Chain A
Amino acid sequence: SQKIEQNSEALNIQEGKTATLTCNYTNYSPAYLQWYRQDPGRGPVFLLLIRENEKEKRKERLKVTFDTTLKQSLFHITASQPADSATYLCAPGSGNTGKLIFGQGTTLQVKP
């Protein structure tokens, strides 16, 4: 069956450093991969989408890579700030339906 794995342990980093989160998937060949941010008590918010024919995508301080050979996506936040503290979810998908498979998320804590 399809499996999505994100680091279950929280990631603690110092303000100003680069945070790198990992998303691995198995038994799946997604056409794209989405990243979401979720704050406590709130619904996930879409951040970035990267397609299978794209190696890298950037948006402000965010960078996402997608390696279909390794079946892995990396999500980077440069110059991290305490306001970046949240849980980040990856979700590979195909087609244009609402049918996504989510990883369990990685919690990032940025300390001032």
Chain B
Amino acid sequence: NAGVTQTPKFQVLKTGQSMTLQCAQDMNHEYMSWYRQDPGMGLRLIHYSVGAGITDQGEVPNGYNVSRSTTEDFPLRLLSAAPSQTSVYFCASAPGDSSSPEQYFGPGTRLTVT
């Protein structure tokens, strides 16, 4: 199993550009989430999904869109990038089983918006 994969690893955008951060998992997990990590702020939840076709907002959803058309994929879209979105983005998945709610994280995407 590859686990949780994210692409790209690094990205530089200009203000106003759009892009999609890709996330895929091959563990057949029901739950997937997107976090951003900034110095001194810890991990903050952007959006999450409890299954294909179902998404919901987290703590900091503004400026980001998500969709979940398959169990495996959970892309994060930035419609009009802003410097405040410079951060490291992590995707995570969880089995959806109450006996094992731990999350599995991808390697992250480092995004810089100039």
Contact = CB atoms under 8 A, between A and B. Distances in A.
Contact of A49 (B31, B42, B101, B105): B101
19 contacts: A42-B107, A43-B4, A43-B105, A43-B108, A49-B102, A89-B43, A95-B98, A96-B97, A96-B98, A96-B101, A97-B31, A97-B94, A97-B101, A98-B48, A98-B94, A100-B45, A100-B103, A102-B43, A103-B42
Interface in B22-74: 31-33, 35, 40-45, 48-50, 58-59
Interface residues of B, number: 32
A103 to B, nearest CB: 6
A60 to B, nearest CB: 17
Contacts, number: 72
Interface of B: 4, 31-33, 35, 40-45, 48-50, 58-59, 90, 92-98, 101-108
Interface residues of A, number: 24
